[in-house]
Amino acid sequence: VSTLMDRIQPNIHNLYVIHDQSESGINTSNKFYQALESVTPTDKYSTLDWSDKPFDSLLKDVRNLDKQSAIVLISYNISVDGQVLPPEMFCRQLSDVSPVPIYSVDEFLFGNGIIGGCFLSGRLHGEQVAKLGVQILNGADADSIPHVVEATAYTGADDEMLRKYDLDKHLLEPGTVIVNEQFSFFETYRTLVLVTVTIISVL
Protein backbone atom coordinates (compact mmCIF):
# COMPACT_ATOMS: atom_id res chain seq x y z
CA VAL A 1 0.00 0.00 0.00
CA SER A 2 2.76 2.45 0.92
CA THR A 3 4.45 1.91 -2.46
CA LEU A 4 1.24 2.83 -4.28
CA MET A 5 0.72 5.88 -2.04
CA ASP A 6 4.29 7.05 -2.62
CA ARG A 7 3.83 6.92 -6.39
CA ILE A 8 0.48 8.66 -6.79
CA GLN A 9 0.22 10.69 -3.57
CA PRO A 10 3.82 11.46 -2.50
CA ASN A 11 2.92 14.41 -0.27
CA ILE A 12 0.94 12.47 2.35
CA HIS A 13 1.67 13.60 5.90
CA ASN A 14 -1.22 12.04 7.82
CA LEU A 15 -2.31 8.43 7.51
CA TYR A 16 -5.62 7.47 9.15
CA VAL A 17 -6.04 3.74 9.77
CA ILE A 18 -9.57 2.38 10.22
CA HIS A 19 -10.30 -1.20 11.27
CA ASP A 20 -12.84 -2.92 13.46
CA GLN A 21 -12.18 -4.32 16.93
CA SER A 22 -12.55 -7.97 15.93
CA GLU A 23 -9.63 -10.34 16.31
CA SER A 24 -9.20 -10.31 12.54
CA GLY A 25 -9.28 -6.51 12.38
CA ILE A 26 -6.71 -6.11 15.15
CA ASN A 27 -4.36 -8.79 13.79
CA THR A 28 -4.54 -7.46 10.24
CA SER A 29 -3.95 -3.87 11.34
CA ASN A 30 -0.94 -4.95 13.44
CA LYS A 31 0.55 -6.69 10.41
CA PHE A 32 -0.10 -3.57 8.35
CA TYR A 33 1.72 -1.39 10.89
CA GLN A 34 4.65 -3.82 10.96
CA ALA A 35 4.87 -3.88 7.16
CA LEU A 36 4.62 -0.09 7.00
CA GLU A 37 7.46 0.34 9.50
CA SER A 38 9.68 -2.07 7.56
CA VAL A 39 9.46 -0.13 4.29
CA THR A 40 8.78 3.45 5.37
CA PRO A 41 10.93 5.93 7.34
CA THR A 42 9.41 6.41 10.79
CA ASP A 43 9.05 10.16 10.30
CA LYS A 44 7.35 10.00 6.89
CA TYR A 45 3.75 9.70 8.12
CA SER A 46 1.89 10.74 11.21
CA THR A 47 -0.22 7.59 11.69
CA LEU A 48 -3.52 7.90 13.54
CA ASP A 49 -5.71 4.95 14.49
CA TRP A 50 -9.42 5.72 14.16
CA SER A 51 -10.71 2.27 15.11
CA ASP A 52 -12.29 3.61 18.31
CA LYS A 53 -14.65 6.02 16.52
CA PRO A 54 -18.36 5.23 16.03
CA PHE A 55 -19.18 4.99 12.33
CA ASP A 56 -21.32 8.14 12.32
CA SER A 57 -18.37 10.03 13.81
CA LEU A 58 -16.10 8.62 11.11
CA LEU A 59 -18.46 9.87 8.40
CA LYS A 60 -18.39 13.31 10.02
CA ASP A 61 -14.67 13.52 10.74
CA VAL A 62 -13.37 12.30 7.37
CA ARG A 63 -15.07 15.26 5.69
CA ASN A 64 -12.55 17.57 7.38
CA LEU A 65 -9.33 15.79 6.39
CA ASP A 66 -6.78 17.93 4.56
CA LYS A 67 -5.44 17.07 1.13
CA GLN A 68 -2.14 15.76 2.52
CA SER A 69 -3.92 12.87 4.18
CA ALA A 70 -5.02 9.37 3.22
CA ILE A 71 -7.13 6.63 4.77
CA VAL A 72 -6.28 2.93 5.05
CA LEU A 73 -9.37 0.78 5.60
CA ILE A 74 -8.69 -2.74 6.92
CA SER A 75 -11.05 -5.58 7.89
CA TYR A 76 -14.01 -3.39 8.74
CA ASN A 77 -17.18 -5.45 9.24
CA ILE A 78 -18.66 -3.99 12.43
CA SER A 79 -18.29 -0.51 13.88
CA VAL A 80 -17.30 0.11 17.49
CA ASP A 81 -20.90 1.17 18.23
CA GLY A 82 -22.30 -2.11 16.89
CA GLN A 83 -23.36 -1.23 13.35
CA VAL A 84 -23.07 -4.27 11.12
CA LEU A 85 -22.93 -3.88 7.35
CA PRO A 86 -21.14 -5.62 4.50
CA PRO A 87 -17.63 -4.08 4.39
CA GLU A 88 -18.27 -2.93 0.82
CA MET A 89 -21.14 -0.75 2.09
CA PHE A 90 -19.04 0.73 4.90
CA CYS A 91 -16.36 1.51 2.33
CA ARG A 92 -18.78 3.11 -0.14
CA GLN A 93 -20.26 5.37 2.52
CA LEU A 94 -16.81 6.52 3.64
CA SER A 95 -15.69 7.04 0.06
CA ASP A 96 -18.77 9.12 -0.78
CA VAL A 97 -17.88 11.75 1.84
CA SER A 98 -14.08 11.50 1.96
CA PRO A 99 -12.05 14.33 0.38
CA VAL A 100 -8.96 12.07 0.40
CA PRO A 101 -8.22 8.66 -1.15
CA ILE A 102 -8.93 5.42 0.70
CA TYR A 103 -6.47 2.53 0.36
CA SER A 104 -6.86 -1.06 1.51
CA VAL A 105 -5.27 -4.51 1.57
CA ASP A 106 -8.68 -6.20 1.20
CA GLU A 107 -9.27 -7.33 -2.37
CA PHE A 108 -13.07 -7.44 -1.97
CA LEU A 109 -13.06 -3.63 -1.52
CA PHE A 110 -11.36 -3.14 -4.90
CA GLY A 111 -13.88 -1.36 -7.12
CA ASN A 112 -16.04 -0.41 -4.14
CA GLY A 113 -14.72 3.04 -3.27
CA ILE A 114 -11.02 2.57 -2.51
CA ILE A 115 -8.42 4.08 -4.79
CA GLY A 116 -6.42 0.86 -4.70
CA GLY A 117 -3.91 -1.17 -2.75
CA CYS A 118 -1.79 -4.30 -2.75
CA PHE A 119 -3.97 -7.39 -2.57
CA LEU A 120 -3.40 -11.05 -1.80
CA SER A 121 -5.53 -12.62 -4.50
CA GLY A 122 -7.63 -15.61 -3.54
CA ARG A 123 -8.20 -16.32 -7.23
CA LEU A 124 -4.48 -16.34 -8.10
CA HIS A 125 -3.68 -18.38 -4.99
CA GLY A 126 -6.43 -20.85 -5.88
CA GLU A 127 -5.09 -21.21 -9.41
CA GLN A 128 -1.62 -22.11 -8.10
CA VAL A 129 -3.03 -24.59 -5.58
CA ALA A 130 -5.14 -26.17 -8.35
CA LYS A 131 -2.05 -26.59 -10.54
CA LEU A 132 -0.27 -28.34 -7.68
CA GLY A 133 -3.29 -30.55 -7.13
CA VAL A 134 -3.39 -31.55 -10.79
CA GLN A 135 0.30 -32.52 -10.68
CA ILE A 136 -0.30 -34.71 -7.62
CA LEU A 137 -3.38 -36.33 -9.19
CA ASN A 138 -1.26 -37.07 -12.25
CA GLY A 139 1.15 -39.04 -10.07
CA ALA A 140 3.75 -36.46 -9.04
CA ASP A 141 5.33 -36.88 -5.61
CA ALA A 142 4.17 -33.95 -3.48
CA ASP A 143 7.59 -33.70 -1.78
CA SER A 144 9.32 -33.36 -5.13
CA ILE A 145 7.20 -30.47 -6.42
CA PRO A 146 9.15 -27.17 -6.19
CA HIS A 147 7.75 -24.25 -4.27
CA VAL A 148 5.41 -21.98 -6.19
CA VAL A 149 7.23 -18.84 -7.29
CA GLU A 150 4.41 -17.18 -9.23
CA ALA A 151 3.07 -14.08 -7.51
CA THR A 152 -0.33 -14.45 -5.86
CA ALA A 153 -0.49 -10.77 -4.93
CA TYR A 154 -0.97 -7.75 -7.15
CA THR A 155 -1.28 -3.98 -7.01
CA GLY A 156 -4.56 -2.52 -8.23
CA ALA A 157 -5.97 0.96 -8.78
CA ASP A 158 -9.45 2.25 -9.58
CA ASP A 159 -9.39 4.75 -12.44
CA GLU A 160 -12.72 6.22 -11.34
CA MET A 161 -11.21 7.08 -7.95
CA LEU A 162 -8.01 8.38 -9.54
CA ARG A 163 -10.12 10.81 -11.57
CA LYS A 164 -12.18 11.77 -8.50
CA TYR A 165 -9.05 12.83 -6.61
CA ASP A 166 -7.28 14.20 -9.70
CA LEU A 167 -4.37 11.76 -9.48
CA ASP A 168 -2.31 10.75 -12.50
CA LYS A 169 -2.69 7.08 -13.46
CA HIS A 170 0.48 7.33 -15.54
CA LEU A 171 2.41 7.40 -12.25
CA LEU A 172 1.27 3.86 -11.50
CA GLU A 173 3.84 1.10 -11.53
CA PRO A 174 3.86 -0.94 -14.75
CA GLY A 175 1.70 -4.04 -14.35
CA THR A 176 -0.80 -2.38 -12.01
CA VAL A 177 -4.30 -3.79 -12.52
CA ILE A 178 -6.68 -0.92 -13.34
CA VAL A 179 -10.47 -1.18 -13.02
CA ASN A 180 -13.21 1.22 -14.11
CA GLU A 181 -10.87 2.65 -16.72
CA GLN A 182 -12.44 5.45 -18.72
CA PHE A 183 -12.75 4.64 -22.41
CA SER A 184 -10.66 6.87 -24.65
CA PHE A 185 -11.34 6.58 -28.36
CA PHE A 186 -7.98 8.15 -29.22
CA GLU A 187 -5.93 5.90 -26.91
CA THR A 188 -7.79 2.78 -28.05
CA TYR A 189 -7.58 3.55 -31.76
CA ARG A 190 -4.49 5.76 -31.72
CA THR A 191 -2.86 4.25 -34.82
CA LEU A 192 -6.09 4.33 -36.83
CA VAL A 193 -6.74 7.96 -35.86
CA LEU A 194 -3.20 9.08 -36.76
CA VAL A 195 -3.26 7.27 -40.10
CA THR A 196 -6.69 8.73 -40.95
CA VAL A 197 -5.61 12.26 -40.03
CA THR A 198 -2.43 11.87 -42.11
CA ILE A 199 -4.38 10.66 -45.17
CA ILE A 200 -6.89 13.51 -44.87
CA SER A 201 -4.04 16.03 -44.51
CA VAL A 202 -2.31 14.68 -47.64
CA LEU A 203 -5.54 14.82 -49.60
Residue 115 binned pLDDT confidence (cut-offs 50, 70, 90) = very high
Taking the model in full, what pTM does it have?
A: 0.81
Average pLDDT of the residues in 87-94: 95
Instruction: Give per-residue pLDDT as tens, 20-73.
Output: 999 989 999 999 999 888 887 767 889 999 999 999 999 999 999 999 999 999
Three-class SS string for the chain?
CHHHHHHHCCCCCEEEEEECCCHHHHHHHHHHHHHHHHHCCCCCCEEEECCCCCHHHHHHHHHHCCCCEEEEEECCCECCCCCECCHHHHHHHHHHHCCCCEEECCHHHCCCCCCEEEEECHHHHHHHHHHHHHHHHCCCCHHHCCCCCCCCEEEEEEHHHHHHCCCCHHHCCCCCEEECCCCCHHHHCHHHHHHHHHHHHHC
Return the higher-pLDDT residue of 148 and 28. 28
